[in-house]
Amino acid sequence: MENKKRSFFERLTGSIGIEEHTDEPKKMNVKGDKKNGHAEGKTGNGWMEEENEEAELTVDVYQTPTEIIVQTMVAGVKPEDLELTIARDMVTIRGKREENRTIDEENYFAKELYWGTFSRTISLPEEIDPEEAEATERHGLLTLKLQKIDRERKTNLKVKSI
């Protein structure tokens, strides 16, 4: 199987993408060793070690008549640890989820939550007005409301005499 970057959701939940599914699932024992005897990225105590790269957020992107909405799960991330970069045709969400527990590795039975940096850049299907963007977070769900540029809107301008 080729080495494919796992999405943030796959890392967060420990799931695999549908294209990765095979007839014979990989079986893991408690220590993280594959049943066929091959070890991948084990630390000295037998736990799987994640790559040191940014995870990719999973997103929902949809539209209303006047807005493009982007939603993603950022549970456990403080708003000040999120960075949103918004352009007319692109949005980048970047952040870091820090683990503030001090548990010895040998005391874990399972360790599947993702801790570290993550990002996602989304190309938007229509141009938006970055100045009108609104970001809210509720119960770990980040929602970006991006106002579409109304190309059909017309304004009557009155000439002032100076």
Beta-bridge partners for 97: 116
- For residue 119, give the nearest of 86, 149, 82, 88 by alpha carbon: 82
In this predicted model, which residue has the larger pLDDT, 24 or 106? 106
**pLDDT tens figures, 18-67:** 555 455 444 444 444 444 444 344 444 444 444 557 888 899 999 999 99
Confidence of residue 17 (pLDDT cuts 50, 70, 90): low
pLDDT at 64: 94
Q: How far does CA 76 lie from the centroid of its chain?
A: 13
pLDDT at 12: 62
pTM of the prediction? 0.61
- 130: Cβ contacts below 8 Å, ≥ 6 apart: 86, 87, 88
The phi and psi torsions of 33 (rounded to 5 degrees) equal: -80, 140
* 151, pLDDT greater than 50: yes
What's residue 48's pLDDT? 46
Q: Are 92 and 121 in contact (CB under 8 A)?
A: yes
Which is higher by pLDDT, 35 or 6? 6
Domain borders along the chain are: 8-147
Secondary structure letter of residue 77 according to DSSP = -
- Give pLDDT tens digits for 119-131: 999 999 999 999 9
Q: What is the mean pLDDT of the chain?
A: 77
> Candidates 3.90.1150.10, 3.40.50.1370, 2.60.120.10, 2.60.40.790; correct CATH number of 8-147?
2.60.40.790
Between 26 and 160, where is the model more confident? Answer: 160
What's the rounded Cα separation, in Å, for the pair 47 and 49?
6
